[in-house]
Structures are given as structure tokens and as C-alpha cells.
Amino acid sequence: MPPSSNSRNGSNARSSSSSGGSQQWRKLRGYAFDPILSQQFETAGINEIVFKVSWERLDPGPIGEYIEVIDYDPASGAYYEPVNLDDPMILGGDGLDPEESNPQFHQQFVYAVAMTTIRNFETALGRKIFWTRVDKTKPAGHWDIFVPQLRIYPHAFRAANAFYSPERKALVFGYFPASANPTGVQLPGGIVFTCLSHDIIAHETTHSLLDTVLPRYLDSTNPDVLAFHEGFADIVALLQHFSFPEVLHHQISKTRGDLASQSLLGELAQQFGQASGLYGGLREAIGRLNDKGKWVPLEPDPTAYEKTSEPHERGSILVAALFEAFIAMYRERISDLMRIATGGSGILPAGALPPDLTKRLAREAARSAQHLLTMCIRALDYCPPIDISFGDYLRALITADVELVPEDEHHYRVAIIEAFRRRGLYPRDLRTLSEQSLHWPSGDQLDDDARKTIAILADQLRNVAEKSHFHEPRSTTFNFLRDFRKALHELIQPSIGKKLLGNIEEITGLALDPRKRKIDGLPISPQGGYMFEVHSVRPVRRRGPGGEEVDNIVLSLTQTRTVPRNGINYNMPGGCTLLLDLETKSLRYAISKSVADPRRVAAFERFIDGDISAAAVGLTKSKEPIAQLHMIASLL
């Protein structure tokens, strides 16, 4: 990729707070799904929608605080003229009209969808998003460099692929000719632009956001890790469908309120699927068209999880579980409406649904989807920093929701647990799947020395939280938190030699003091303790639906030991996520993946020895793991 012709650093990036205007939203036209639906009579009227994104002053590109769109086409060697979304004519018309042949509309559309996805993440996480890159030529503690904007290349190459590049901190979209024998209404040989699919843009943006929140999740250490990346990106794209009112009304009318039946809302990337000669979308959450073109629902198969190793296929099991949970939430929310509408029989009268009922059902579907989307994103702070499994994610979902919504009056958590259980997605070390069992253990087993150490950390971190919120530009907050990570490491390291940590090692799973136990392959620092990294410090301020507030600090500490196998040394990561309550100066949770756990070492060795290890380890070593992952999926 060539360098940006409009690039600017974080110090002069324009933010919404510096716009000088009173506008809160920018309205931009786009597709609810992709252009193919605008070419079908039934869906032409609902596919073109208006996105509402947070207002900010933009340079041509568009280039804003978070996003820099660079429209260079290497195949033709041309830069397309960047769109100026602050042009009064464009502002007054809610952006450019959707048009497949207009590169400036392509630029507008990728910006609108990416910013919508970013806003969903920031709202759920309760903090600003940062992109970073590693520069090991910098002094220790300053390797992470702030990247002001995620770059988006709408026309990066000619191929049926799109991916997030962690190396370049960029989203790159391809374009390609459709199959000579496409399905549906796709023009044979017609050009398909992946940058015009809401689902593909949202999916790739989510990859980038997940990478900045949990960067070690691109290290394939068990079969679930890359599958989680793919499944999580899919569920975000799917649930964002439900923020489009026109589409919701149409599909609820068509399905008579039954969102578990075939609908556009449960499919991903229809045009990409049809252009590739597939039936229906690229991936579908609740059903699929068989080889005769007939839609059939997907029944949960509890054995599929153990039999499936390809990341997209394995990730689709996670998507199906979460979408089933969404359907259960939606049905719970509309149960009173359906009783009234059916006179208690549960059977709707024949004919079209009354408009008022359709409107209410659509509202409840949107609320259910937004609630689950927020739950899914918020749970990331309750995940281990490395080596995620679907069982870990289930525990994170339950714990995060209990923290913010203690009373589960609508049984949402029960719906999630049941949907995961039906597909075999649960922790294998638990005896029951009750909410209480799945809730991560609290940190109240600390001894006195450990409590004192945690209280000292909490005091330091409280100052960090107060100083780090709401700084402009974001680079100021990033640099402050990075410097504190180094200071925190220097605070913990001397405590090891002085034996001031108490039972922190047992509670957190960290291996710190070599005098307690010898661990082969775990390096020792010059100060005498086992080496560890303060991976991230994340202040969190959230408000629940009932006004409940959470004011925590999320710390991620990681370690790496070498595990020899077949004459090769493999890096096995370990670490923990610590959630500290700043009010009580206590440890709320220690979510651990210890490098010293013999069960983890054995599982890691089995993974290395398994049939899928060659592909997985190759992806991990690649500078472009998402690109290779998507390429492998296209060959299956």
C-alpha cells in the first residue's frame, strides 16, 4: 500500500468536540446489506437507508479522528478523488446517493459503517478505542506506538477477499468479477465490490477492534482462538442489522414476527455469496438453503464443536448459539404483545400484521439485539488476555452481565447458557452450568499481604482513572496509560524479592517468584523474578439499564514460556485479567490462564501435535493472519 497523501498525526486530528458546531449526528446514505438487494423488487425499497454517525469535522477522504480512507487502486495505479463529506451540498443531502459505480460513495459507505461499529464498541466498553503498533527500536516500556487512525482502502486489490491487516492497521477490500454461473439476480461476470457490503465492512472493522482490545487473540494457541475472532466479527455484523428500522419493519411483516424463520436479518453478505455461486448469503446464523434452493433451519448439533476445526465453521457454532439466545430474548420481550394480539391462543389471525403491532415488535427486536450486542462487547473485559475458549467467553458473558444487571428478571442469562449448552460450548472443568457456577470466582480469597498489595495498586490506579478519562486528543490518554504500564511493572517487580505479594500468585495464576517453583522455559528478569508484561491498563466507566454504575480498572498481565516439541521451541502464552474495584480498593476478579498449569501445557502440546497445528501455527507467524485465514476459508 502507498502512504496516505492526506495522513496526519494524532495531535492535529479533528475530533467531534473541536468541530465548533452544535450538530450531534452526521447522516449518510448507504446500504442496509449490499447492492444486490436494491436490484430485487421485494427489497429495493428497504435496502437504501441513512446511517447516523457521531458528528466530527472531516477532511476529504474522509479523514476523521478514527478513520482515514485512502482510495488507491493498485491494479490501475490510480487514486480516486476523495469525497468531501463537509461539502454543504453533500451535507444537505445526507451524503451521496448509493451508487455502485461511484468510488466517492464507496468511500462514504465504508466510513459510515466503520464509525457505526466503533461507536457500538465504545458505548459498550465505556472508554475510547486506540489502535497501536509495536516498535521494538523504542526504549523498553514504550514499544507500543499510538496509531491515530485506522486506514481503509476500498479498492485495494482485485480478488474475492477483504481483510483486516494488523501489520498496517488497515482494512483492505477487494473487488472481483462474479461467477459466470452466479445464483440469484447477480449479473454473470459483473463486478462485485466487497466495500459495498455492510456485513463485510462491519466484520473487518470488528476484527480491528477486537485486535486492539485483546491483541493476543491472533495467536492461535487452541482451536477456539481464531474461531472466536471470526465468530465474534460475524455476530457484531448480524446484530447491527437490527438497528435499521425500515429493514426490521419489512422483515417482521414478512415473517409475521417470527425471526427464527428465514429472513435477511440472519444472513451475512448475500451478494458475495451469490457472486461466488452459493445459495443465499456467505454465512447464515439460523438456517440455510440446501442444494435445491429450499431453506431449512439449522438444528443444534452438540457433536459439531468437537468435530469442527476450521475457524470459520467453528466460529459459526458460536454465532448460532448467540443468535438463538437473541431469538429467545426477543420472544420474551414480545410475549405480552403476542398474548394480546392472539387473544391468549398464541396463534395470530391470518393476513398482514396490524401496523401498530409490527412497529412494537420491531422496537422490541431492536432493543433485544442492542442489549445482546452490548453484552457481547462488554464481556471482552472479562476474558483472559490470551488463549480464549468458547467456554471462557460464556463465563465472561455471564459475569459481565451480573456485574451490571444483578437481577436477571427476563432470564437473558439463562437463554445464553441454554443456547451454548445445546451446542457443547461450555467449560469442561465445571460440574454444573448454573449461573453461579459460570460466574468467574471473585478475588476475595486474598491473604493479608496480597490485600495490602492490591490496595496499593488500586490507589495508584484510581489516580490513573481520574486523569485518563475524556482527554483530547486520544493520543494524550494513550501515552498516559502507556507510561503508567511501565510504572506499574516497576511497582510490582520489587515486591517479588521482598515477598510482599502474599498469595497473589495462587489467585492470579501468575508465576512471579522462582524461589517458590521452577518453571522450565520461563525467563527470569535481571531483578530475579520471572519475567512478565503489564499488557494493558484499561479504565472502565459504565452505566447499567437501571442506573447501576461500574467504575473499575482492567489490568492484563502476560507471560510467555517456551515449550519444546519435536525439536522445535513453541511459545506458550499465559497471563491473567484483573478487575479492580476502585471504590473498595479490592480485587473483583482474577481471570487466569497460568503458564504453570500442567493441564494447559498438555492441551497446548496436543494442539501442536494435532492435524490443524500446521495451518494454525502458520497463521500465527504470518504478518497478515486474517488475510490468510480468509483465503484458506475460500478454498474449503
pLDDT tens, 120-169?
Answer: 999 999 889 999 887 767 766 667 889 999 999 999 999 988 999 999 99
Q: How confident is the model at residue 37 (pLDDT cuts 50, 70, 90)?
A: confident
Contact residues for 237 (Cβ-Cβ < 8 A; gap 6+):
198, 199, 200, 202, 203, 206, 268
- Give dist(CA 108, CA 91) in Å, integer: 12
User: Is the backbone peptide bond immediately before 98 cis, with ω within 30 degrees of 0?
Assistant: no
293: left (phi over 0), alpha (psi -120 to 50) or beta: left
Domains of the chain: 24-213 (3.10.170), 243-438 (1.10.390), 448-596 (no CATH)
Average of per-residue pLDDT values in the chain: 84
Q: In the predicted model, is pLDDT for residue 33 greater than 50?
A: yes
Question: Which one, of 404, 390, 435, 382, lies nearest residue 590 by Cα?
Answer: 382
Q: Check residue 627 and give its pLDDT.
A: 83
Decide: helix, strand or coil at residue 27. Answer: strand
pLDDT of residue 15 exceeding 70, the answer is no
557 in Cβ contact with 534 (< 8 Å)? yes
Kindly report which listed range (307-311, 425-429, 580-584, 593-597) carries the lowest average pLDDT score: 580-584
- pLDDT at position 618 is 47
- Output 473 or 186, whichever has higher pLDDT: 473
**Intra-chain end-to-end CA distance of the chain, in Å:** 28
pLDDT for the residue numbered 19: 40
Name the least confident of 81-95, 130-144, 499-513: 130-144
| pLDDT over threshold 80, residue 350 | no
